[in-house]
């Protein structure tokens, strides 16, 4: 198995990406192909010792910056680590592609280079979120800004396979993110999606209010990319605000530091709930290849976790199984 | 000043509503008009002592249940505490209306009974949210499921008045909830709203990502009702999940109870961030009258706080000032 990793993706690239990749190849025995400017990567790789046959460098001289406009970046930088990395995945001999770089660019390039799975109209970013009953998959987290009801049905089918194979839960249930439990609630788009899911998705259990996301009522939660992105980022921001409030409290009352230490595990569990890098990146579902998107602020551990997830996706033959249900 | 209170609104009505109203009239010296079935309210009121001239009972024999479909409930129950209460507000001699009942029904009845302020097309529910820099107003939280860019511009104008007068902050800034800071991001709807706000709203500071909501970058945050509702309810659910994780931790490790006690204030501050009842209810802006929507699970304290907010709205002449900017 060989995983292509965008060595230039993320706020701390290539340092964190290479550190996490080296850890992963030792821990999981997967070969890594790092895409990026050859000289830059070679210099960084000198810091590590590793079995040389386990690391390949794919030369890609250009770098898409985190805030480059996605589509134009892909058009103008045809030799970026993102595009070149995906081209290697496509040509064969490589099993998955991971990037913690510019999300929009990864989505656009994956769609262009790999194409879509027949039966899927738009890719969706799935986010593995912890709930009180274990991990669930929420999709889409921001790839699709013009979602149609049929896209949500396609997301539901793909999410079920993902939850079964990668998260490892049998008979996953599908919920639709909405503002109320009743089917009459929501925008016209959500009401139509509800109707379609009810007709065509046997695992559909109905609407899910946003306060139920972390309760684990549904294993797969489908929504449009705008709402999904809002849900994910609000959670991230709220836990950040809680952490800041905590620090303020400690500076006012030093005794509180003991409290904070005692509860560290709980709170960090909760923060992880809001940070998909901790789980190991978000699968981009619907494109014709295994692509995982990491958080821009990925630590070496997050990169390592993303590679672990990629390995599991490959071993469980997720791509073929998704194609089988569409 | 006399505030109309829907005595039958909320999961714990009329008990909590009446308890909170009695507290409020004593603390804030406002007269209260309770709308609901006369006999039921009279029996409940017997539990309390209060100056009789401060409490009026408005007989409304019907009750809209929390999960009744909004519009049909309003059409079928013309003598509900919601509709009758709003009719009293409209006829004059009353200053504001408060309900912790069925939100959709309150929005629909307010629109039908009070009508819209000239220049506003759709009502919006504002939510006062605490941030690291003080309270802000986010609008719409779920009244408008077919938002257009011009509705968001109208919300921005109303929100500025509210933040100035009720929250008490001069020169409020307006942000647009979106999935990225760049103006090219988001759905077509959000991109159009961005353009319109940039052209017509001098206090507009651009897009705000959902993780920045609690950071206090903008004083007024505008969004469509679906996204706003998701943002609010995700926050509520996440803090609930944290509280549950905390209890689990305590049951595993009794020492953690001391930690939890030490940090109680901080965490309850953070939970309040996600619960608008703590602030005192959400203003329904755009209808031609002062309406405040409380959380369905309102405690007596939440009802009291809603009355406090209503009093402030009346004293600051918020309705006339909003009309003045539209």
Best mutation target, A241, A256, A268, to test chain B (most B CBs within 10 A): A241
Paired with A57 in beta bridges are A34
pLDDT of residue B276: 54
User: Residue B279: pLDDT above 80?
Assistant: no
Chain B nearest-CA distance from A256, in A, is 6
Helices A103-114 and A81-91: angle between axes, nearest 10 degrees: 30
pLDDT of residue B263: 64
Per-residue pLDDT tens over the stretch A76-85: 999 999 999 9
Q: Which two tokens stand for residue A262?
A: 């005692």
**A121-125, A293-297, B310-314: least confident range:** A293-297
pLDDT of residue A181: 84
Mean pLDDT taken over chain B? 92
Q: Which residues of B touch A190 (CB under 8 A)?
A: 226
CB B186 within 8 A of CB B179: yes
Q: Which residues of B touch A256 (CB under 8 A)?
A: 262-263, 266
Say what the pTM is. 0.92
Q: Domain A126-276 maps to which CATH number in 3.40.50.720, 3.40.50.10310, 3.40.1190.20, 3.40.718.10? A: 3.40.718.10
Nearest CA in chain A to B256: A262
pLDDT of residue B265: 63
Please indicate whether, in this complex, the C-beta atoms of A237 and B256 are within 8 angstroms of each other: no
Q: Which residues of B touch A145 (CB under 8 A)?
A: 179, 186-188
Distances (CA, A) of B51 to B23, B24, B30, B45: 12, 12, 11, 12
- Please compute the mean of the pLDDT values over residues A235-254 and round it to a whole number: 78
Paired with B178 in beta bridges are B209
The closest CB to that of A270, out of B142, B242, B260, belongs to B242
pLDDT of residue B180: 87
pLDDT of residue B278: 62
pLDDT of residue B295: 87
Query: How many whole angstroms separate alpha carbon A192 and alpha carbon A188?
Result: 6
* First CA to last CA distance, chain A: 26
User: Residue B325: pLDDT above 90?
Assistant: yes
Mean pLDDT taken over chain A? 92
Please indicate whether, in this complex, the C-beta atoms of B270 and A238 are within 8 angstroms of each other: yes
User: Residue A279: pLDDT above 80?
Assistant: no
Please indicate whether, in this complex, the C-beta atoms of B231 and A236 are within 8 angstroms of each other: no
The closest CB to that of B262, out of A187, A214, A255, belongs to A255
Other beta carbons within 10 Å of A156: 25
Sign of the dihedral through C-alpha B167, B172, B174, B175: negative
User: Residue A276: pLDDT above 60?
Assistant: no
Task: Give the containing element (helix H, strand E) for B246.
Answer: helix B225-252
Q: Which two tokens stand for residue A322?
A: 């998704």
Other beta carbons within 10 Å of A301: 16
CB A79 within 8 A of CB A60: yes
The closest CB to that of B230, out of A227, A249, A273, belongs to A227
Nearest CA in chain B to A244: B132
Chain A nearest-CA distance from B5, in A, is 25
Instruction: Write the CATH number of the domain with boundaries B1-120+286-326.
Output: 3.40.718.10
pLDDT of residue B256: 65
Q: Which residues of A242-281 are buried (b: 16+ CB within 10 A; e: fewer)?
A: bbebbeebbeeeeebeebbebbeebbebbbebbbbbbbbb
Q: Which residues of A touch B229 (CB under 8 A)?
A: 179, 210
Q: What percentage of chain B has pLDDT greater than the value 90?
A: 78
User: Residue A189: pLDDT above 70?
Assistant: yes
Chain B nearest-CA distance from A65, in A, is 14
Nearby residues of A35 by Cβ (< 8 Å), 6 or more positions away: A4, A5, A6, A7, A8, A58, A60, A81, A82, A84, A85, A88
Nearest CA in chain B to A246: B266
pLDDT of residue B255: 66
Q: Which two tokens stand for residue A273?
A: 């709930």
Residue (of A154, A201, A171) closest to A322 by Cα position: A154
Which letter does DSSP use for residue B177 in this model? E
* First CA to last CA distance, chain B: 26
Other beta carbons within 10 Å of B119: 13
The closest CB to that of A241, out of B132, B232, B265, belongs to B132
Nearby residues of B93 by Cβ (< 8 Å), 6 or more positions away: B2
Per-residue pLDDT tens over the stretch A51-63: 999 999 999 999 9
Chain B nearest-CA distance from A208, in A, is 10
- Please compute the mean of the pLDDT values over residues A151-158 and round it to a whole number: 98
Q: What percentage of chain A has pLDDT greater than the value 70?
A: 91
Best mutation target, B133, B224, B242, B274, to test chain A (most A CBs within 10 A): B242
Strand locations in A85-219 (E): 96-99, 124-131, 134-139, 174-178, 204-209
Query: How many whole angstroms separate alpha carbon B245 and alpha carbon B237?
Result: 12
**A10-24, A223-237, A262-276: least confident range:** A262-276
Q: What percentage of chain A has pLDDT greater than the value 90?
A: 78
Query: pLDDT class for A265, splitting at 50, 70, 90?
Result: low
Residue with tokens 């896209």: A151
CB A210 within 8 A of CB B229: yes
User: Residue A250: pLDDT above 80?
Assistant: no
CB A162 within 8 A of CB A126: yes
Q: Which two tokens stand for residue A243?
A: 């952490």
- Please compute the mean of the pLDDT values over residues A198-206 and round it to a whole number: 98
Please indicate whether, in this complex, the C-beta atoms of B226 and A227 are within 8 angstroms of each other: yes
Q: Which two tokens stand for residue A295?
A: 């958080």
Query: How many whole angstroms separate alpha carbon B191 and alpha carbon B176?
Result: 10
Residue (of B100, B98, B191, B175) closest to B131 by Cα position: B175
Query: How many whole angstroms separate alpha carbon A50 and alpha carbon A62?
Result: 26
**A126-135, B256-265, B294-303: least confident range:** B256-265
Per-residue pLDDT tens over the stretch B232-273: 999 888 888 877 877 777 777 666 666 666 666 666 666 665
**A22-36, A92-106, A266-280, B175-189: least confident range:** A266-280
The closest CB to that of B211, out of A188, A224, A233, belongs to A233
Nearest CA in chain A to B187: A145
The closest CB to that of B270, out of A187, A225, A241, belongs to A241
User: Residue A22: pLDDT above 90?
Assistant: yes
CATH level 3 topology of B124-277: Isopropylmalate Dehydrogenase (3.40.718)
Q: Which residues of A touch B274 (CB under 8 A)?
A: 238
Chain A nearest-CA distance from B3, in A, is 29
Nearby residues of B253 by Cβ (< 8 Å), 6 or more positions away: A262
CB contacts < 8 A, A to B, total 186
Helices B318-325 and B300-315: angle between axes, nearest 10 degrees: 60
Other beta carbons within 10 Å of B93: 9
pLDDT of residue A267: 64
Same CATH topology for A1-120+286-326 and A126-276: the answer is yes
**A208-212, A318-322, B31-35: least confident range:** A208-212
Per-residue pLDDT tens over the stretch B192-246: 999 999 999 999 999 999 999 999 999 999 999 999 999 999 988 888 887 787 7
Can you give the residue ranges of every domain in chain B?
1-120+286-326, 124-277
User: Residue A5: pLDDT above 60?
Assistant: yes
Chain B nearest-CA distance from A35, in A, is 26
Q: Evaluate the omega torsion of the peptide bond into residue B140 and state whether it is cis, within 30 degrees of 0.
A: yes
Please indicate whether, in this complex, the C-beta atoms of B230 and A179 are within 8 angstroms of each other: yes
pLDDT of residue B113: 97
More confidently predicted of A269 and B166: B166
pLDDT of residue A227: 97
pLDDT of residue A168: 95
Chain A nearest-CA distance from B126, in A, is 16
Chain B nearest-CA distance from A231, in A, is 6
Per-residue pLDDT tens over the stretch B17-64: 999 999 999 999 999 999 999 999 999 999 999 999 999 999 999 999
The closest CB to that of B179, out of A184, A226, A261, belongs to A226
Of the ranges A5-9, A242-246, A296-300, which is most confident? Answer: A5-9
More confidently predicted of A297 and A33: A33
Residue (of A252, A312, A301) closest to A275 by Cα position: A301
Per-residue pLDDT tens over the stretch B104-156: 999 999 999 999 999 999 999 999 988 888 899 999 999 999 999 999 999 99
Q: Which residues of B touch A232 (CB under 8 A)?
A: 210
- Please compute the mean of the pLDDT values over residues A294-304 and round it to a whole number: 91
User: Residue A258: pLDDT above 90?
Assistant: no
């Amino acid at each position: 198995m060989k995983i292509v990793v965008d060595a230039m993706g993320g706020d701390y690239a290539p340092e964190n990406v290479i550190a996490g990749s080296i850890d992963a190849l030792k821990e999981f025995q997967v070969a890594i192909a790092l895409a990026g400017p050859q000289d830059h990567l070679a210099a960084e790789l000198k810091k590590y010792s590793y079995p040389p046959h386990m690391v390949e460098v794919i030369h890609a001289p250009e770098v898409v910056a985190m805030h480059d406009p996605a589509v134009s970046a892909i058009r103008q930088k045809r030799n970026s680590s993102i595009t070149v990395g995906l081209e290697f995945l496509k040509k064969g001999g490589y099993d998955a592609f991971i990037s913690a770089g510019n999300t929009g660019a990864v989505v656009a390039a994956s769609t262009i280079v790999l194409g879509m799975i027949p039966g899927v109209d738009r890719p969706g970013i799935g986010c593995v979120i912890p709930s009180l009953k274990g991990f669930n998959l929420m999709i889409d987290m921001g790839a699709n800004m013009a979602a149609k009801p049929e896209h949500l049905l396609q997301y539901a089918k793909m999410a079920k396979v993902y939850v079964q194979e990668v998260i490892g839960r049998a008979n996953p249930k599908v919920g639709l993110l909405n503002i109320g439990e009743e089917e009459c609630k929501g925008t016209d788009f959500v009401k139509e999606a509800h109707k379609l899911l009810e007709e065509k998705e046997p695992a559909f259990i109905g609407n899910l209010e946003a306060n139920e996301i972390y309760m684990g009522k549904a294993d797969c939660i489908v929504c449009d990319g705008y709402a999904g992105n809002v849900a994910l980022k609000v959670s991230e921001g709220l836990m950040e605000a809680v952490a800041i409030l905590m620090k303020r409290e400690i500076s006012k009352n030093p005794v509180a530091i003991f409290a904070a230490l005692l509860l560290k595990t709980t709170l960090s569990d909760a923060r992880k709930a809001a940070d998909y890098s901790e789980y190991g990146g978000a699968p981009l579902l619907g494109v014709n290849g295994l692509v995982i998107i990491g958080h821009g602020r990925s630590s070496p551990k997050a990169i390592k976790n993303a590679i672990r997830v990629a390995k599991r996706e490959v071993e469980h033959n997720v791509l073929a199984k998704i194609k089988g249900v569409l």
